[in-house]
Amino acid sequence: MSLLLNNVFVITAALLSGFSRMAKSFEMIMLSRFFTGVNAGVSMNIQPMYLAESAPKKLRGAVALTSASFTALGLVLGQVVGLRELLGGEESWPFLLASNAVPALIQLTALPWLPESPRYLLIDRGDKESCISGELRVTVSLSLST
C-alpha cells in the first residue's frame, strides 16, 4: 500500500516538471525535484524491504539485491536518455524531467496484482492464513520461474 501511495509524489513531480515550461515557472521545477526526492527516499527503503519479505528464504538475499542492480541500471539509463541528442536538449528537457512518471505508472498498474508481504499480513493485519498462503504463492511462482 505504501508503494502505491508513494507514486502520488512522483506523478505530481512529473506533472509539475512537464508543465513548468508552459507556465514559465522555475518554482515548479524546484517543487518537482523535491517531490521526486521524497519518492526516491521512500522507495529506496520500502522496495528492498517488500522484496526481502516476500521472497522465500533461499532466494531472499538475491532478490533483495535486485533493487540495487535496478537502481544502477536506472542511473545509466538516465545518463543515456539525458544526452543532448535524445532528451537532453533545450526543447525536450521538460519531457526528460517528467519521464519518471513512466515507471510510476507501470508500478501503479502492476502492484495491485502482487501479493502483500507475508510479514505485513501476519504482524500488522494478524491474518495468519493469508500469510501462509501468500508465502506459498510466492514460493510456487518463484520455483516455477526458475
| Prediction pTM value | 0.74
pLDDT at residue 139, rounded to an integer = 52
CA separation, residue 21 to residues 15, 27, 102 (Å): 11, 11, 20
Residue 134 cell numbers, joined: 501468500
Residue with grid cell 518463484, as numbered in its chain = 142
Q: Which amino acid is at 38?
A: V
Residue 122 has what pLDDT?
63
Distance CA 83, CA 65 (A): 28
* Cell, residue 121: 499480513
- Cβ contacts of residue 72 below 8 Å, gap of 6+? none
Q: What is the 3-state secondary structure (H, E, C) of 66-93?
A: HHHHHHHHHHHHHHHHCCCCCCCCCCCH
Of 2-6, 51-55, 122-126, which range is least confident? 122-126
Residue predicted with more confidence, 89 or 115: 89
Distance (Å, rounded) from C-alpha 144 to C-alpha 132?
A: 18
DSSP conformation class of 122? I
According to CATH, the topology of domain 2-111 is Growth Hormone; Chain: A; (1.20.1250)
Mean pLDDT of 26-54: 89
Report the 10 Å Cβ neighbour count for 64. Answer: 17
Note the pLDDT of residue 29.
92
Average pLDDT for 122-138:
63
**What is the mean pLDDT of the segment spanning 17-37?**
92
Q: Are 82 and 96 in contact (CB under 8 A)?
A: yes
Q: What is the pLDDT of residues 60-78, one digit of tens each?
A: 888 878 888 888 998 899 8
- Fill in the amino acid letter for 70: F
> Which pLDDT score is estimated for 91?
84
All 3 cell numbers of residue 10? 512522483
